[in-house]
Amino acid sequence: MEPTAGQGSSSTDISNNASSSSHAHSSAGSHSISAAQPVAVSSVAPLTKAEMKRAKAVSDAIDRALRADRERLMKERGAKLLILGPSETGKTTVLKQLKLLYGRKGLDAERQTYRRVVHLNAMKAIQALSYGLQRSNIPLEHPENIAHLETVMRLETTLKRYSITSLGFTNPAIPRKITDAKAETDMFLEMVPAIKALWNDEGIKQTFRTGGSLNLQDSAKYFLDSIDRIAEPNYIPTDDDILQARVRTLAVSEHLFNIDGVNYRIFDVGGQKSLRKYWAPYFDDVNAIIFMCALSAYDQPCEDDERQNRLAECLSLFNSIANHKLFEMTSFILFLNKIDIFQRKLESGSLLRDHFPAYKGENDYASATDFIHEEFLGQCKDTSKQVYVHFTHATDTKQMRVIVLAVNAIVQRLNLRSSGLL
């Protein structure tokens, strides 16, 4: 008799089976062979509930150990993130926040170097406002400030020759006297009286309030309001100063961080159109992409093409990246940045529909952000593509701390899913 399912036979049973068969053959002689004797089979008693519970506990423990090993290996292997987006959307500011929050030395290594950047930012800000005042034919409140205006305007060519693109390195194409930090500081200190006088003039203030087309850096008011402090002889940039400072990124840079036990390789790239051709080599093996957009750019023209709207250009770039064949399986984390400036502009009366006629809602923050949010999601041809959206204020360290932790959780979850652990 064959053993039934769930039964088994021991070595003793097999021996008894063989012995019984031999006895049957020998006693038969010349007579017909008799039917085989039944084989003795030992039955296994079913597991008790307690035994089943213990077995399941052992199995679960093994599963947990395997899962923990895989998660540990994933953390050790780390994650590769790209930060993409047009220029002046806040990509480098996000990296500064990561250095501040997770870097070994925070921003201390760059603090002294940023002193010259802050000074140059202040000079460029007042220069842009002076240019805008003249272009708009706005009169100065105090006629005596015309001399200060001429002083600032004479520096236009000189300031364009300053290199604030590579911190700590001089540009060999620029004369030494222009890249010398002391010379820059001396130049700034000479301009302080003119900067203060012009910034306090109602004509310049009016230009600032209506200056959406000036391509004025977002930190202009911050530094011009702080002119006395940053002009002090022993001035050392604060964390907020460094976060506000504008440095143009002209190369791809790699940064390493450990966030909650996960090793990250994060690549920052220059956002200018002329630099985007250098992005492609970094597209391979990407865990996720952080795409940056400046909401506040909805009423500004592109720096390199004044006929094109900055936010519209950002939507177009997102379309090309989100639908790129190399990113078919890549999740996107969309930072709709500069919400503070965006809200301030809306409240001051700058109408979103003047720049995006398709918008029919009220000119309030909630309605406007909903519209832009949907515009970005609508760029994805694959409607199932995962796009995680965050409304950000990249210079706000408290908010960025929360958002970075949220991004870390997203990336870990994506890694687990891609490894079959979710």
- The domain limits of the chain are 83-107+255-412, 112-236
Fold match between domain 83-107+255-412 and domain 112-236 = no
Q: Is 344 annotated as a binding residue?
A: no
Residue 29 has pLDDT above 50, yes or no: no
What's the pLDDT tens digit per position in 215-231? 788 899 999 999 999 99
Q: Kindly indicate the confidence band of residue 173, based on its pLDDT and cuts at 50, 70 and 90.
A: very low
Question: Which residues are annotated as catalytic?
Answer: 88, 93, 246, 268, 272
Task: Judge whether 89 is annotated as a binding position.
Answer: yes
Q: Is 249 annotated as a binding residue?
A: yes
Position with higher pLDDT, 255 vs 45: 255
* Structure confidence at residue 193 (pLDDT): 94
Least confident of 75-79, 313-317, 319-323: 75-79
Is pLDDT larger for residue 103 or for residue 169? 103
Is pLDDT larger for residue 344 or for residue 419?
344
- The predicted-structure confidence for 71-95, as pLDDT tens digits, reads as follows 555 555 578 888 888 888 999 899 9
pLDDT at 378 over 90: yes
The larger pLDDT score, comparing residue 173 to residue 204, is at: 204
Q: What does the pLDDT look like over 324-375, one tens digit per residue?
A: 888 888 889 999 999 999 999 999 899 999 999 999 999 999 999 999 999 9
Report whether 218 belongs to an annotated binding site: yes
CATH 3.40.50.10310 fits 112-236, yes or no: no
Q: What is the overall mean pLDDT for the chain?
A: 79
* Whole-number Å distance between alpha carbons of 123 and 156: 10
For the cut 50, the answer to whether the pLDDT of residue 12 exceeds it is no
- Asked if residue 418 has pLDDT above 70, the reply is no
% of residues, the chain, pLDDT over 90: 40
In this prediction, residue 212 carries a pLDDT of 60
Per-residue pLDDT for 127 more than 50? yes
Consult the annotation and say whether 44 binds a ligand.
Answer: no
Query: Binding site annotation covers 41?
Result: no
Note the pLDDT of residue 35: 44
Is 48 labeled as ligand-binding? no
The pLDDT of residue 76 is 54
Band of the pLDDT at 182, cuts 50, 70, 90? low
Most confident by average pLDDT, 50-59, 246-255, 322-331: 322-331
> Is 3.40.630.30 the CATH number for 83-107+255-412?
no
Mean pLDDT of 311-321: 94
219 known member of a binding site: yes
**pTM for this one?**
0.73
Task: Classify burial at 318, counting beta carbons within 10 Å of its beta carbon; exposed 0-12, middle 13-18, buried 19 or more.
Answer: buried
**What confidence score (pLDDT) does residue 11 get?**
39
